[in-house]
Amino acid sequence: MSLAPRLDIRQSQSLVMTPQLQQAIKLLTLSNLEIEAFIAEEVEKNPLLDATAVREVATPERPEREAPAGADELVAGTAPAEDRGLDLDYATESHQQDSVVDGGTGPDGGLSLNGTSSGGLGGEDGPDWDSLPDDAPNLAEHLEAQVALILSGVELTIAAHIIDQLDEAGYLTVPLAEIAERLGVSIARVESVLSVVQGLDPTGVGARDLAECLALQAKEVDRYDPCMARLIANLDLLARGDLVRLKRLCGVDDEDMADMIRELRGYDPKPGCRYGGEPARAVVPDLFVTRTKAGWGIELNTATLPRVLVNRRYYQELRHGPQDKGSKAWLADCLANANWLMKALDQRQRTIIRVATEIVKQQEAFFLHGVAHLRPLTLARVAEAIGMHESTVSRVTSNKYLSCARGLFELKFFFTSGIAAADGGDAVSAEAVKSAIKTLIANEGAKILSDDTLVELLQAKGFDIARRTVAKYREAMGIGSSVQRRRARALGG
């Protein structure tokens, strides 16, 4: 083997993802609101892009051209010219739904998330503007505003440090000795300030454990007698449902014990959670599904899809103006990127509509009769039906929500595993089985149903299911075992 340097010529093949291909794949996974933010960024970077208020609607009711190009064809560069171009006159297109309130289920044409008539923004059933979240202070700000009226000087500094060490539930997780050493003060002084913090609103904040939190709230309402103190000191027995031992420790009868437990249930174990944190935000649907005389109407929520155009007039002005070679190359790149973005956005909408249409076709029984009729469905099955790759369907169904008469659902919800039918018929969806389990437990009455009994009842309904599967589904829904449910009923829960 020669060790001398030499030149070799080799041939190799490799798959390279161009920036345009990466962008097309990225767009498929984004929701409508994320697309809006993405477009805003692109408009800032590209002077040839112009986002207008005119919205583009893609509806399945309009007849499609023969074999429209899919996302796989677009990114591969093999789409026909008519699918690649976007020079369409959208002003002549029929606009159906620009938002939730533009649907057709109610007398006023309103489609709410639960399928009822919204009556428009100005009607009685319109949104409750008073219920919208405001800029409320977080827990630290709420406590600091109170303590500033009570303490000053070193005590105020200690209180601010204690408040800074509280977790989101309002508990103090740092030992007092550590705080005293950090601030160079005595533990007694820290304890004195902590007692002041524990007297702030909400009651229970500043506690070091659950027992202290509940005790502070019991003292606030003057219910912290010796019996309640023993009950709070033995929360582990209460969690296990050992009422006999608790009654003996507290020295009370059944009626007093039930009253104490009822009182304890009214306390807040996480008082700090009332403040701060991200406010609950409503999920905006990406798709609308409505029942029509001709079948099912499926369309995008165009209220969150701004229309993007290429400002060709501005391009011509720049093109004929004085510019050097570098400026010409930059302008050409801007035009190419703008055209590609428009094509990718258009193809994204077509792809989402095709996937959603197939989902509705496969799960029509669900839209007609409810979750009990949900069928097992896989990404591969949908991909095969519409002639796309499974990974494309997976990206399309990520972070997308569908609004129909039965509520708001993530597209991933419709893809569930199957449970064999006891009579050898068609398999049923796991979600349908979960719904059946939830219904049986909700109607179990005085006799608590064990997992074995649930298996027998489900098999009588035609579900061939094992006990471990019932336990797994029950736990996934947050439902306790028969022992836990019996204990909770004994405690009055």
Q: Which tens digits make up the pLDDT trace of 332-373?
A: 888 888 888 888 888 888 999 999 999 999 999 899 988 888
The residue written with tokens 């979750």 in the block is 371
The residue written with tokens 């929701």 in the block is 31
Confidence of residue 275 (pLDDT cuts 50, 70, 90): confident
Q: Which domain holds residue 388?
A: 287-305+345-416
Inform me whether the pLDDT recorded for 38 exceeds 90. Answer: no
Tens of pLDDT, residues 386-438:
998 888 889 889 888 999 998 999 998 898 877 766 555 567 778 888 888 88
Same domain flag for 405 and 488: no
Same domain flag for 350 and 438: no
Domain count along the chain: 3
Query: What is the greatest pairwise CA distance in the chain?
Result: 97
Inform me whether the pLDDT recorded for 105 exceeds 50. Answer: no
**Residue 168 forms part of a structural domain:** yes
Report the b/e string of 237-258 with b at 16+ CB within 10 A. Answer: bbeebebeebbeebebeeeebe
Same domain flag for 384 and 460: no
Instruction: State the Cα–Cα distance between residues 460 and 439, nearest whole angstrom.
Output: 14
**Residue 405 forms part of a structural domain:** yes
CB 256 within 8 A of CB 249: no
Same domain flag for 178 and 297: no
Local structure of 362: helix, strand or coil: helix
Inform me whether the pLDDT recorded for 313 exceeds 60. Answer: yes
**Residue 122 forms part of a structural domain:** no
- Rounded to two decimals, the pTM is 0.56
- Give whole-number Cα distances, 446 to 442, 461, 470, in Å: 11, 22, 21
Inform me whether the pLDDT recorded for 132 exceeds 50. Answer: no
Average pLDDT over residues 115-138: 47
Inform me whether the pLDDT recorded for 465 exceeds 60. Answer: yes
Same domain flag for 368 and 456: no
